[in-house]
Structure 1
Amino acid sequence: MEKRVLLTENIEKDGIEYLEKMGYEVKVARGTSEDILVEEVRDCDAMLVRMANITAKVIQAGCKLKVISKFGVGVDNIDVEEATKQGIQVTNSAESNNNTVAEYTIGLILALSKKFFLYDHELRKGNFGIRNSLGIDLKEKVIGIIGAGSIGKLVAKKAVLGFGMKVIELKRHKDFEPEDGIKYTYDIEYLLKNSDFVSLHVPLTEETSKLIGEKEISIMKPEAFLINTARGGVVDNEALVNALLNNKIAGAAVDVYEGEIPSKDNPLFKLDNVIVTPHTAAHTIEGMQRMSVHPAIGIHEVLSGKRPSWPVNDVEEMKK
């Protein structure tokens, strides 16, 4: 019997074509509410998830479900603990957008340092004198990277090799190899105090929720910038707004928000010293293609009895 894959939302045709080539029936859910997904998942062997919330109730309704695969990297919208209890493998697209997000991060750093958005906004109003508001060079500036995983490491490499910047990486473990141009620390306060740019690349967990709050921002240099392309919940939005309003830091670039879609009255949108973008760090043509194909590969690996290339949980360990 043909195995069925449920897409909670549509994806690029590359991923769908891969699944169909491998012999799967693909269906797109009628909606993303919990009640609809509970009904849609009942006859499916796999789910490919974008932004829909995959709750315990949805997972428990998946009588045939063997794998939940994420379009993208962050799985905070999937109840991984419940999936593991049910013996369901969770996979993601861990390598699909590393370089894409790293490039975007460097772009935000350039935009902040050179004041591109401010110049554009003011010149359109006829303010040619805005040219006297000076930007800064990146050479010799220090970028502090919190979350030295695959994306963080690429940001560090591009910053050092491309712009002659210095890097401080926050390390939670001691099993690492020293790299040229990079200084390591286990002390987040040291990183915040000594960085001209602080870039966040951590997943949203209990440990990282509100990781950057009023105390942490107060440690940063007044001329420093904060860049968040990780998850909205990693930063205390109110603390960031207050810091930007009172010039406690020079500026920020924010691509992610609590609850995914920000409210229209988010106070960040009223500030001139912050760049806001709609969670688009991974949204390039190439990135979206990879984020469609990689979770499809994960589904095929699991359903064909292979160990997935990008596992999130360890189902086999739970069975022991």
Structure 2
Amino acid sequence: MPKILITPKSFQKYKEKPIEMLTAMGYEVIENTTGKTLTEEQLLSYINQDIIGIIVGVDPLTEEVLQKFPSLKAISKYGVGMDNIDLQAAAALGIKVGNAKDTNNISVCELALALMFECARKLSSAIKGVKDFGWDRSIGIELTGKHLLIVGGGKIGKEVTKRAKGLAMEVTIYDPYMRDEEFLQAHQIGYATDFAEIIQQVDIVSLHLPATPETKHLMNATVFEKMKPSAMLINTARGELVDEQALLSALVQGQIAIAAQDVYSVEPPEVGDALVQLDNFILTPHIGAYTEEAVERMAIVSTQNILNLLNEQG
């Protein structure tokens, strides 16, 4: 019986219907029961099980891994970003790849806003202080009236934009590949064409771009030097967008005030990582898509995608 490997740990909560969908079509399901993201070595332990499809989270489907699965015909990403999949190798091997588009837009958007509030009001440290029986109050800032730069005008960027306008923020979008005039006019949004210029003017930068060779280290030492010393950086997209050594220097030297990320170049970060230990750096464990609603949508859509891709392969 042909087999489907399911690797994402959060898939477990809403697996009943997806597994019914797969078994009804004659597939046997193999689940990752480790509760952790699989390494390349762990993925290779499945190579002798006649797996023709993989529903994958952030596990590394490198060229080496893909080459070792002789029966593999399709990969369905449980989520949107596919930078953990060697797409070029998959294409060369005739493996179809798809992702669960539009399943986590709202969840990631809301986390980006939550991180803005955290940076503005330092809520977690205030809560911890009271629970430690302290009563110290740190002064915060209002988001109302602040100038927000959305870097990446795709669907998540647009969702953040609409909500930021509801907070009476001034919003500008920078995206050299996308300019939706109807959206800009409907929501009274600015559009920047010069990144080096706009970065000097804004109070908050929120990143909503995929990781590509062109976007790698978009936020670097040169950019941080241009930003306001009171500026805030929010990254719920990909860790590779930020040069973390440059960010460390910028935060220590006061080139920007604070940064919050849900993503990191190496996840989880190494113990003792200097950036993670800074008081003005906030890091959450890649939970942007981890809401009940988004997880359920991703489970259903990624399952339907694997069925569609396998059907296309015949």
TM-score of the aligned structures, taking structure 1 as reference length: 0.87
CA, structure 1 residues 76+173, in 2 after alignment: closer, same or farther (shift >3 Å)? closer
Residue among 85, 88, 91 paired with 1:78: 85
Matched residue, 1:28: 31
1:145 aligns with 2:146: no
Alignment of 1:220-299 (within 5 A): 220-299=227-306
Does 2:169 match 1:165?
yes
- For 1:30 and 1:229, the matched residues in 2 are separated by 27
SS in 1 for 2:158: helix
Counterpart AA for 1:37? L
CA–CA separation in structure 1 for the residues paired with 2:272 and 2:45: 35
Q: Which amino acid aligns with 2:174?
A: L
Task: State whether residues 6 and 41 of structure 1, in contact with CA within 8 Å, keep that contact through their aligned partners in structure 2.
Answer: no
TM-aligned CA deviation for residue 148 of structure 1: 1.4
Paired position in structure 1 for 2:22: 19
214, 220, 224: which one pairs with 1:213? 220
CA RMSD in angstroms, aligned pairs only: 2.1
Matched residues, percent identical?
A: 37
Question: For 2:274 and 2:41, how far apart are their aligned partners in 1?
Answer: 33
2:197 corresponds to which residue?
A: 190
Task: Extract unaligned runs of 5+ from structure 1.
Answer: 307-320
* 8 A Cα contact 2:251 2:258, kept in partner: yes
Shift of residue 60, structure 1, vs aligned partner:
2.0
What SS is found at the alignment partner of 2:171? strand
- Of 123, 126, 133 in structure 2, the residue corresponding to residue 116 of structure 1 is 123
* Deviation of 1:9 (Å): 4.4
Deviations 1:96-130, CA, capped at 9 Å, x for gaps: 111000011111111111221232244445553x3
TM-score (norm 2): 0.89
| Superposition deviation, residue 280 in structure 1 | 1.0
Distance 1:288 1:174 in 2: 28
Identify which of 56, 62, 69 aligns with 1:55: 62
Give the deviation of 1:41 after TM superposition. 4.0
Runs of 4+ in 1 over 6 A off after TM superposition: none
> Residue in 1 aligned with 2:114?
107
Q: Deviations over 1:239-269 (max 9, x none)?
A: 1111111221111111111122111211123
Cα distance between partner residues in 2 of 1:174 and 1:290? 26
2-structure distance, mates of 1:166, 1:21: 51
For 1:187-207, what per-residue CA distance to the aligned partner results, in whole angstroms no more than 9, with x for missing partners?
A: 112231121110111111111
User: 1:98, 1:221 → 2: CA distance?
Assistant: 29
Greater Cα offset, 33-42 or 244-253: 33-42
CA distance in 2: counterparts of 1:203 and 1:45, whole angstroms: 28
User: What residue ranges of structure 2 are gaps of 5+ in the alignment?
Assistant: none
Q: Aligned with 1:90: secondary structure? A: strand
Distance 1:106 1:212 in 2: 20
1:8 aligns with 2:7: yes
Q: Indicate conservation of the 8 Å contact 1:15/1:289, yes or no.
A: no
CA, structure 1 residues 173+222, in 2 after alignment: closer, same or farther (shift >3 Å)?
A: same
Determine if contact 1:282/1:288 at 8 Å carries over to the other structure. yes
Q: Note if contact 1:140-1:165 (Cα within 8 Å) is conserved in structure 2.
A: yes
Give the secondary structure class of the aligned counterpart of 2:312: coil
Q: Write the distance in 1 (CA, Å) between the matches of 2:263 and 2:177.
A: 27
Size of the alignment, in residue pairs? 302
